[in-house]
Amino acid sequence: MPESMNRQMHAAAPVGRCDARGDTNRMVYESSMVPDECKRLRPYSVRRLFLAALVTALMSCRHEEPRRAPFVPLSKVASRYGDLVSVGNHPTPDQQGAGERIGLFRAADGTIWGLPIMLGEAGDILVCAAPSLSDAPATDYLPGGTITIVGAVNEPTGLRGGTGRLEIVTRDAKGVLHWQAVRSGETPGPIACWAPETIDERLQPKQRLHYYRLEPNR
């Protein structure tokens, strides 16, 4: 056979074959010479693509944690939320000890706001009011004719590990006292109130604080 023809046949013939995984045994093919079975996706390549798509979907659905709203002096919130009329504690039904402090404020329209409060380094009272709180929905309603709040306590849980829902005692225009448990809500928006940071969050994990908006039941 002529040497030129032998070279042409050698060049046209594949120089490798696919194994069971679709590999070409590390031999190079021209694109037109690659057998069809070599072009199939390997099983583990399909799994990799699936896992990559799954991770991308989970990352896109991740909920970002709201930023921390500051605690400010009472004078900064008095014009919007009114005067401080009573105090209490956030419920802690699923943890030991009492919850963070709550200040109850009476606004000009009769709404009672429950906002997180804390003591500053100088002993002054600081309050947290997230910017979006003004548009937050009512969490509960006051008895008709409520004039003032007499006090606030936490509902007993029957256990010694924590405390129950916040309860308030109010007085109406006729002097009648009303005692009721009230519901709270999670502050909407990208900024929220959080419990003060601790030295070791392993001992006390970060805690997002709720608000109360108790509107008069007219």
Q: What is the pLDDT of residue 104?
A: 96
Q: How far apart are the C-alpha atoms of 111 and 59, rounded to whole Å?
A: 41
> Domains of the chain: which residue ranges?
3-60, 67-216
Which tokens in the block code for residue 150?
A: 């007499």
The token pair that represents 125 in the structure block: 């009272």
pLDDT tens across 45-103, in order? 656 666 666 656 555 455 578 889 999 999 999 999 999 999 998 887 666 667 889 99
Cα–Cα distance measured from residue 152 to residue 90, given in angstroms and rounded to the nearest whole number: 11
- What's the pLDDT at 200? 55
**Per-run averaged pLDDT (10 residues), the chain, 218 residues:** 49 46 44 50 60 58 76 93 93 75 94 95 93 91 90 81 87 93 91 78 72 90
pLDDT value for 26: 44
Cα separation, 145 vs 83, in Å, equals: 19
Task: Please report which helix (H) or strand (E) contains residue 102, including its range.
Answer: strand 101-106
Beta bridge partners of 140: 214
Predicted pLDDT of residue 171: 94
Q: Determine the pLDDT at residue 91.
A: 87
What per-residue confidence (pLDDT) applies to 193?
Answer: 93
Q: In degrees rounded to 5, what are phi and psi of residue 160? A: -110, 10
C-alpha 84/C-alpha 66 separation (Å) is 26
- What is the DSSP code (8-state) at residue 160? S
Residue 193 region, left (φ>0) first, then alpha (ψ -120 to 50), else beta? beta
- Please tell me the predicted confidence (pLDDT) of residue 140: 96
